Structure 1
């Protein structure tokens, strides 16, 4: 078939499929190239999925759900009764987005349809919300929000870690709920980490936000704090007490991480290595002869860890050595004369 995308769009607009069409879509889903359906799915998730009415074939639904369970590491006992894929287009879109690294489901929260998006890869996933705000969702993290997001409210729930670039809307504050804290903003950019077992932390890159700790699931006014640019708050896991510290360096790091470009001018290579360690969660041993050398230039995380290290050491006749299972590296060289 010459134009598979057009045929897929035609199928997904129809209320029912013939047996031949079901066979075609099953064969398509088993193939290696699902780019056309991924494009359609990504577009649909930004538009009208909640209006779709066609019911998913039960056998195919079970196959797709099983695939999603296995890829997301969810067992049947924990999954049963929580999520349901009710529409054919939602199910197909969810399966394809999952293959692209973002698993999405529609659930019900107190009777309200809710979109839940998981990042199942080792890379950050960039999401655009209905109000135009952008989220960079870190690995093993998720967000959820209702179908009314951006119209009647801008409230979502986060687990894990994400960087937010929030569009300004004076009528609808942007609210992020987590298990430990509640954050309210009007328009700003900031990073929030609320991973289980770790102290909740928020770093503001620009703008102003309010952060409240939660006591037994409810945000309290008495420990609410206001953060402006280059400020950071960390909440004690046991007492919920906030500590505000200077976040200039963290804000610098998250701003460059969000932009996808790390720019340096006369910065010590040892300091640049610390940024790369943090970015890739690895250990980098910088030899003394190289540590104090000043470096100028741009590094792009999209090019990969080894490419960044090679580019960093090249002007200094340096080399890169992998020490332990790609989790520890040693870079050597000397300052140019």
Structure 2
């Protein structure tokens, strides 16, 4: 099937695409995520179709069936329109009696289409607002963004996602301190804005400290590659290598230096606040989830009681909660996903 010929309505009426939008089957999700990356020219149609599927499936029961009726109606309209163009003889009263019932039905379907498309375009227009996520008073708060990237926010820190995040961009603004584990997306580089600098990411692990009023911003890279641009100096770009740290403040020049290792455990001091050694010795997943929830500051719930009794052993240090769960899956498989600010574990 040539999906490149699809328009928004075609995507929305495709059952596999619907399952991808509603996160119902992993195979469909993987297929469409890869297809969308390979075909950025269809991003606008895909975004509109996703909005349509989500809108019509949100508590509406059989609304997805209306998409099928909509597709059929549009096809009939096109056939009817072509037939009328080709008809040279005057239309008799008998002929019109056959045509108008179909025209009335198609007219109703097209009204539905126009209403849905107008609403979707209105929803995705300039009125779309940024999304703010605040850590609050907890020592740390873990957030999994729509693109799959994991962020650990330090106490009283916050991020603001730009409008259209993961649809037209992957930009956010940080105030405070955060540890990032970013997923790759060739179409949309991950960009972190602070008051002093901008950080462009392709897929990496790093820490940024940018507290308001401190006069200093520090970026520490642990894995991957980032490009740092100073505010007001777009031509001045610095590329950091792993285990390097860039620091800038109002009193001293910009510096790039190796990470500061603790002389006792030889771990980088820059992420001492997020580092944790989690030791598990033949413990049930329910008990492990409680530890993860407390440390990472994110709620973990079970959709299936069976998996609560799965038992694991292991040691984790400096992993995000996503990486920790990925590692646990290797020995005794289970599924998990991020939904409405929670991690849901199922069989």
TM class by shorter chain equals 0.3 to 0.5
With normalisation by structure 1, the TM-score equals 0.42
The higher relative CO (CA closer than 8 Å, separation ≥ 6) is in: 2
Q: Which has the larger radius of gyration?
A: 2
With normalisation by structure 2, the TM-score equals 0.41
